[in-house]
Amino acid sequence: MKNLNLLPTLALILIMNTSLFSQPFQVPNTTNPPQRAGITIGVTDIDIHWHSPGVKGREGKIWGTNVANFGFINLGFGSAKESPWRAGADENTTMTFSTDVTIEGKKLAAGKYGFAIALYPDSCVLVFSRNYSGWGTYFYSPSEDALRVMVRQQKDVQRSREWLAYTFSEPTNNSVTVALEWEHWRIPFKVEVDFVSTTLASIKRQMSGGLGFDPPSLQAAAKWCVDNDVNYEDALFWINSATDPNLGGVQTFTALSTKSAILRKQGKTKEAEEARMAAFDKATVLELHQYGRQLIAEKKYKDAVAIFEKNHEKFGETWPVNVGLARGYSANGDLKKALVHAKKAVAQAPDDLNRSALQDMVKTLEVGKAIAQ
C-alpha cells in the first residue's frame, strides 16, 4: 500500500520532466548576434530588428558574393525562385513604423515589415515586405511587397565596420536618415513623417481618455494647436475645459493667453481681447516680463514695450519691471530711457550675477549701443 501511494508523486515528476524536456534548447547566438535599434521622430516610433554578421576577414569578399548577393537570385532552398539579400543574417530583418511614413518620398503605411535589399554595384533596391516572419529571404514572394524604392550606396575604403549595424542620423521633428552600415558600405535612406497630422492624431487620442479631464494636459494640447496653427475648434473646447472651475480648472495667465490666441486665430477679435485682458489681470510680474521677452524674440518691439509698461503700471518700480523696460526701450531704439531703467535695475538686482550682467548692460547703453536681446 505504501508503494501504491508513491505512484501519484512519480507520475507528477514524470509530467514535470517531460514538460521541461519539451522546451527548445537555446544557447546565445554569438555568430550573428541579434540586434535592435529604434528612434522616435515626433510621435512616430521606428524599430529595427536584425541579426548582425561580422566581416571576419572577408573584406572585399562580401558584396556581390554568396554573403550578400547582387540582384535577385535562387538561393537553392525554400519556395522563392528569386530572392534579394536579407539585409542581415539568419531570421528576417524587420522594420516597424508606428504611423504612416514615406521612404525616400514614397508612402508606406504604419506596420511591421520584412526588410531586404536587392544589391547592385552602384545602386540598391530597398524591399519592404508584408511577410515579416520568414527566415531570411528563402520564402520571399514579390506579391507580398508593400514598397520598393531605389537608393544609392556610399563607399569608403578608409573606414570599415566589423559588425553590420543600422544607424540613425540627421533627426528632425519630421525626418531621419536610416542607414545599413557594414564593411566599407553605407546604404542610407530617408524616412519622413507628417509631424503635424501624426502628433494631432496622438493628442486627440489622449484627450479622449483620462487626460481629457486633466486641466494641465488640456491646456498643453490647446497650446500645441496654437503653436502649430491647427484644430482651433477642439483647441478652444480644451482650453475652456482647462479653465472651467466646475471641472477643476484654473484661470491662469498662461491658460487665458492661450484662449486669447485661439480666439484671435478664429477671427473673434473682441472675444480674444477680452481673454487677453483677463490674462493680464491674472499675471504675475515675472509672467508679464517673460511675455514681453517673447515678443522681443518675435521682433514685435512695440508690443513688447506695451507689455513692459503694463507690468510697470501693475507692479511698480520692481527689479523685473525695470529690466524689462530697459530691454524694451533698447529694442525700440530709445536708448536714453533704456539706460534710466537699466541703472534702476542694477540697484535692485537680487544677486551679484544679475548685478554684473546689468552693469554690462549699462556700459553698453552708455556708449550708445543697443543691448543684445
Pick the CATH number of 197-366 from 3.40.50, 1.25.40, 1.10.287, 3.30.1360: 1.25.40
Task: Give the residue-averaged pLDDT of 254-276.
Answer: 96
Q: How high is the pLDDT of residue 16?
A: 44
- pTM, entire model: 0.79
Structure confidence by residue, pLDDT tens digits, 139-169: 999 999 999 999 999 999 899 999 999 999 9
Task: Report pLDDT for 31.
Answer: 87
Beta carbons of 67 and 87 less than 8 angstroms apart: no
Question: What is the C-alpha to C-alpha distance for residues 366 and 363, in angstroms, rounded to an integer?
Answer: 5
pLDDT of 209 > 50? The answer is yes
Is the pLDDT assigned to residue 242 strictly greater than 60?
yes
Per-residue pLDDT of 301-317, as tens digits, reads 999 999 999 999 999 99
Query: Which of 25 and 365 is assigned the larger pLDDT?
Result: 365
The percent of residues above 90 in pLDDT, for the chain, comes to: 86
Residue 28 has pLDDT above 80, yes or no: no
Domain ranges for the chain, please list them: 34-193, 197-366
Reported as a pLDDT band with limits 50, 70 and 90, residue 7 is very low
What is the per-residue burial (b if ≥16 Cβ within 10 Å, else e) of 313-328?
Answer: eebeebbbbbbbbbbb
Mean pLDDT confidence for 237-265: 94
pLDDT computed for residue 29 by the predictor: 67
Cβ atoms 345, 358 nearer than 8 A? yes
Residue whose C-alpha is closest to residue 107's, from 64, 156, 149? 149
Secondary structure of the chain as H, E, C letters:
CHHHHCHHHHHHHHHHHHHHHCCCCCCCCCCCCEEEEEEEECCEEEEEEEECCECCCCCCCCECCCCECECCECCCCCCCCCECECCCEEEEEEEEECCCEEECCEEECCEEEEEEEEECCCCEEEEEECCCCCCCCCCCCHHHEEEEEEECCEECCCCCEEEEEEEEECCCCCEEEEEEEEECEEEEEEEECCHHHHHHHHHHHHHCCHHHHCHHHHHHHHHHHHHHCCCHHHHHHHHHHHCCHHHCCCCCHHHHHHHHHHHHHCCCHHHHHHHHHHHHHHCCHHHHHHHHHHHHHCCCHHHHHHHHHHHHHHHCCCHHHHHHHHHHHHHCCCHHHHHHHHHHHHHHCCCHHHHHHHHHHHHHHHCCCCCCC
Q: Which pLDDT does position 1 carry in this prediction? A: 43
Average pLDDT (100-114) is: 98
Look over the chain and give the mean of its residue pLDDT values, rounded to a whole number.
91
Residue listed under C-alpha cell 490666441: 261
